[in-house]
Chain A
Amino acid sequence: MQWETVIGLEIHTQLASKSKIFSGASIAYGAEPNSQACIVDLGFPGVLPVLNEAAVDMALMFGLAVDAEIGSRSVFARKNYFYPDLPKGYQISQFELPIVGRGSLTIDLEDGQQKVIGITRAHLEEDAGKSLHEDFHGMSGIDLNRAGTPLLEIVSEPDMRSIKEAVAYARKIHQLVVYLGICDGNMQEGSFRVDANLSMRPKGQQELGTRTELKNINSFRFLERAMNFERERQIDLLESGKTVVQETRLYDADRDETRSMRSKEEANDYRYFPDPDLLPVEITEQRLAQAGERMPELPDQKKARFVTDYQLSDTDATLLTQSRQQADYYEQVVATGADPKIAANWVTVELAGALNKAGLELTDSPVSAEHLGGLLKRIADNTISGKLAKQVFEAIWQGEGDADTVIEAKGLKQITDSGQIESIIDEIIVANPKQVAQFQAGKEKLLGFFVGQVMKQTQGKANPGQVNQILLKKLKG
Chain B
Amino acid sequence: MHKKTIVELAAGLKAGEFSSVELTGHFLERIERLDGNINAFITTTAEQALAEAAVADEKLKAGDAGPLTGIPIVQKDIFCTQGVKTSCGSRMLDNFISPYDATVVTKLKQAGVVSLGKANMDEFAMGSSNETSFYGNVHNPWDNERVPGGSSGGSAAAVAARMAAAATGTDTGGSIRQPAALCGITGLKPTYGRISRFGMIAFASSLDQAGPMTATAEDAALMLQAMAGFDPRDSTSADHPVPDYSASLNDSLAGLKIGLPKEYFGEGLDGDVRTSIEAALAVYKGLGAEVVEISLPNSAMAVPTYYVVAPAECSSNLSRFDGARFGYRCDNPKDLEDLYKRSRGEAFGAEVKRRIMIGTYALSAGYYDAYYLKAQKTRHLISDDFKQAFEQVDVIMGPATPAPAFKLGEKTDDPVTMYLNDIYTIAANLAGLPGLSMPVQPVNGLPVGLQLIGNYFAEAKLLNVAHKFQQETGWHRLIPEGLD
- Name A residues whose Cβ lies closer than 8 Å to a Cβ of B: 39, 42-51, 78, 80, 82, 84, 87-90, 142, 269, 271-273, 276-279
Is B316 touching A78 in the complex (CB atoms < 8 A)?
yes
Known contacts A45-B201, A46-B198, A47-B198; A80 and B316 CB within 8 A of each other: yes
Q: Min CB distance, A208 to chain B, in Å?
A: 22
Known contacts A45-B93, A271-B316, A276-B206; A50 and B326 CB within 8 A of each other: no
B281-321 CB contacts (< 8 Å) to partner A:
312-313, 315-316, 318-321
Is B102 touching A46 in the complex (CB atoms < 8 A)?
yes
Chain B residue at minimum C-beta to C-beta distance from A89? B319
Is B200 touching A90 in the complex (CB atoms < 8 A)?
no
Chain A residue at minimum C-beta to C-beta distance from B366? A269
Q: Min CB distance, A82 to chain B, in Å?
A: 6
Known contacts A46-B202, A269-B365; A90 and B86 CB within 8 A of each other: no
Residues of B with C-beta under 8 A to A51 = 235
Q: Min CB distance, B20 to chain A, in Å?
A: 28
Is A90 touching B96 in the complex (CB atoms < 8 A)?
no
Is A88 touching B320 in the complex (CB atoms < 8 A)?
yes
- Which one, A87, A271, A279, contacts B325 given CB within 8 A? A87
Is B99 touching A273 in the complex (CB atoms < 8 A)?
no
Whether B388 is near chain A, meaning CB under 8 Å from some CB there, is no
Scoring B residues 314 to 345 as 1 if CB is less than 8 Å from chain A, else 0, what string do you get? 01101111101111000000001000100000
Residues of B with C-beta under 8 A to A46 = 79-80, 86, 98, 102, 197-202
Is A47 touching B199 in the complex (CB atoms < 8 A)?
yes
Is A45 touching B88 in the complex (CB atoms < 8 A)?
yes
Whether B470 is near chain A, meaning CB under 8 Å from some CB there, is no
Is A80 touching B364 in the complex (CB atoms < 8 A)?
no
> Which secondary structure dominates chain B's binding surface?
loop
- Name B residues whose Cβ lies closer than 8 Å to a Cβ of A: 79-80, 86, 88, 93, 96, 98-100, 102, 197-202, 204-206, 232-236, 312-313, 315-316, 318-322, 324-327, 336, 340, 360, 363-365, 368, 372
Is B102 touching A50 in the complex (CB atoms < 8 A)?
no
Residues of B with C-beta under 8 A to A49 = 235
- Which one, B233, B318, B322, contacts A48 given CB within 8 A? B233
Residues of A with C-beta under 8 A to B318 = 89
Is B235 touching A273 in the complex (CB atoms < 8 A)?
no
Q: Min CB distance, A382 to chain B, in Å?
A: 65
Q: Taking each of A45, A51, A269, A273, which has the highest tally of chain B beta carbons within 10 Å of its own beta carbon?
A: A45
Residues of B with C-beta under 8 A to A277 = 202, 205, 235-236
Determine the distance from Cα of A117 to Cα of B232 in the docked complex, in whole angstroms.
Answer: 41
Is A39 touching B99 in the complex (CB atoms < 8 A)?
yes
Known contacts A269-B365, A273-B363; A44 and B99 CB within 8 A of each other: yes
- Which one, A43, A48, A88, A90, contacts B235 given CB within 8 A? A48
Q: Min CB distance, B373 to chain A, in Å?
A: 9
Residues of A with C-beta under 8 A to B202 = 45-46, 277
Determine the distance from Cα of A47 to Cα of B365 in the docked complex, in whole angstroms.
Answer: 28
Known contacts A45-B98, A90-B316; A271 and B360 CB within 8 A of each other: yes
Provide 15 A-B residue pairs closer than 8 Å at the C-beta atoms, listed in order of the A residue. A45-B80, A46-B199, A46-B201, A48-B197, A49-B235, A50-B232, A50-B234, A84-B322, A87-B320, A89-B318, A269-B364, A271-B368, A273-B368, A277-B235, A277-B236
Q: Taking each of B98, B197, B325, which has the highest tally of chain A beta carbons within 10 Å of its own beta carbon?
A: B325
Is A84 touching B316 in the complex (CB atoms < 8 A)?
no
Report, nearest first, the 6 A-B pairs whose CB atoms are least far apart.
Answer: A89-B319, A271-B363, A276-B206, A276-B205, A46-B199, A43-B320
Chain A residue at minimum C-beta to C-beta distance from B193? A279
Determine the distance from Cα of A43 to Cα of B326 in the docked complex, in whole angstroms.
Answer: 10
Known contacts A46-B201, A48-B233, A90-B316; A39 and B322 CB within 8 A of each other: no
Known contacts A89-B316, A271-B363, A277-B205; A48 and B234 CB within 8 A of each other: yes
Residues of A with C-beta under 8 A to B324 = 84, 87, 142
Q: Min CB distance, B383 to chain A, in Å?
A: 15
Determine the distance from Cα of A362 to Cα of B222 in the docked complex, in whole angstroms.
Answer: 64
Determine the distance from Cα of A273 to Cα of B363 in the docked complex, in whole angstroms.
Answer: 7
Residues of B with C-beta under 8 A to A43 = 320, 325
Extra inter-chain contacts (11) besides given A276-B205, A278-B236, A279-B235, CB under 8 Å = A44-B98, A44-B99, A45-B93, A45-B320, A80-B363, A84-B324, A84-B336, A269-B364, A271-B316, A276-B206, A276-B313
Q: Min CB distance, A142 to chain B, in Å?
A: 7
Residues of A with C-beta under 8 A to B100 = 39, 44
Is A45 touching B86 in the complex (CB atoms < 8 A)?
yes
Is B99 touching A279 in the complex (CB atoms < 8 A)?
no
Q: Min CB distance, A161 to chain B, in Å?
A: 32
Residues of A with C-beta under 8 A to B88 = 45
Residues of B with C-beta under 8 A to A80 = 315-316, 319, 363
Q: Min CB distance, B451 to chain A, in Å?
A: 25
Q: Min CB distance, B369 to chain A, in Å?
A: 11
Q: Min CB distance, A39 to chain B, in Å?
A: 6
Determine the distance from Cα of A50 to Cα of B197 in the docked complex, in whole angstroms.
Answer: 12
Q: Min CB distance, B204 to chain A, in Å?
A: 8
Determine the distance from Cα of A166 to Cα of B360 in the docked complex, in whole angstroms.
Answer: 38
Determine the distance from Cα of A51 to Cα of B233 in the docked complex, in whole angstroms.
Answer: 10
Q: Taking each of A46, A272, A276, which has the highest tally of chain B beta carbons within 10 Å of its own beta carbon?
A: A46
Q: Taking each of B202, B235, B313, B325, which has the highest tally of chain A beta carbons within 10 Å of its own beta carbon?
A: B235
Q: Min CB distance, B6 to chain A, in Å?
A: 26
Is B340 touching A82 in the complex (CB atoms < 8 A)?
yes
Q: Min CB distance, A417 to chain B, in Å?
A: 75
Q: Min CB distance, B365 to chain A, in Å?
A: 5
Is A279 touching B236 in the complex (CB atoms < 8 A)?
yes
Q: Min CB distance, B118 to chain A, in Å?
A: 14
Q: Taking each of B197, B312, B324, which has the highest tally of chain A beta carbons within 10 Å of its own beta carbon?
A: B324
Chain A residue at minimum C-beta to C-beta distance from B96? A45
Determine the distance from Cα of A277 to Cα of B204 in the docked complex, in whole angstroms.
Answer: 10
Determine the distance from Cα of A142 to Cα of B339 in the docked complex, in whole angstroms.
Answer: 15
Is A273 touching B312 in the complex (CB atoms < 8 A)?
yes
Residues of A with C-beta under 8 A to B204 = 276
Is B364 touching A50 in the complex (CB atoms < 8 A)?
no
Determine the distance from Cα of A451 to Cα of B79 in the docked complex, in whole angstroms.
Answer: 91
Is B235 touching A50 in the complex (CB atoms < 8 A)?
yes
Chain B residue at minimum C-beta to C-beta distance from A81? B319
Q: Min CB distance, B94 to chain A, in Å?
A: 13
Is A88 touching B319 in the complex (CB atoms < 8 A)?
yes
Residues of A with C-beta under 8 A to B98 = 44-46
- Which one, B80, B205, B233, contacts A50 given CB within 8 A? B233
Q: Taking each of A39, A269, A276, which has the highest tally of chain B beta carbons within 10 Å of its own beta carbon?
A: A276
- Which one, B319, B326, B364, contacts A90 given CB within 8 A? B319
Q: Taking each of A48, A78, A80, A279, which has the highest tally of chain B beta carbons within 10 Å of its own beta carbon?
A: A48
Chain B residue at minimum C-beta to C-beta distance from A278? B235
Q: Taking each of B98, B205, B322, which has the highest tally of chain A beta carbons within 10 Å of its own beta carbon?
A: B322
Q: Min CB distance, B353 to chain A, in Å?
A: 15
Residues of B with C-beta under 8 A to A78 = 316
Determine the distance from Cα of A273 to Cα of B359 in the docked complex, in whole angstroms.
Answer: 11
Known contacts A46-B80, A46-B201; A82 and B322 CB within 8 A of each other: yes
Residues of B with C-beta under 8 A to A89 = 316, 318-320, 322
- Which one, A39, A88, A90, A273, contacts B372 given CB within 8 A? A273
Determine the distance from Cα of A43 to Cα of B202 in the docked complex, in whole angstroms.
Answer: 12
Determine the distance from Cα of A162 to Cα of B234 in the docked complex, in whole angstroms.
Answer: 48
Q: Min CB distance, B95 to chain A, in Å?
A: 12
Chain B residue at minimum C-beta to C-beta distance from A23? B233
Residues of A with C-beta under 8 A to B360 = 271
Determine the distance from Cα of A269 to Cα of B325 in the docked complex, in whole angstroms.
Answer: 24
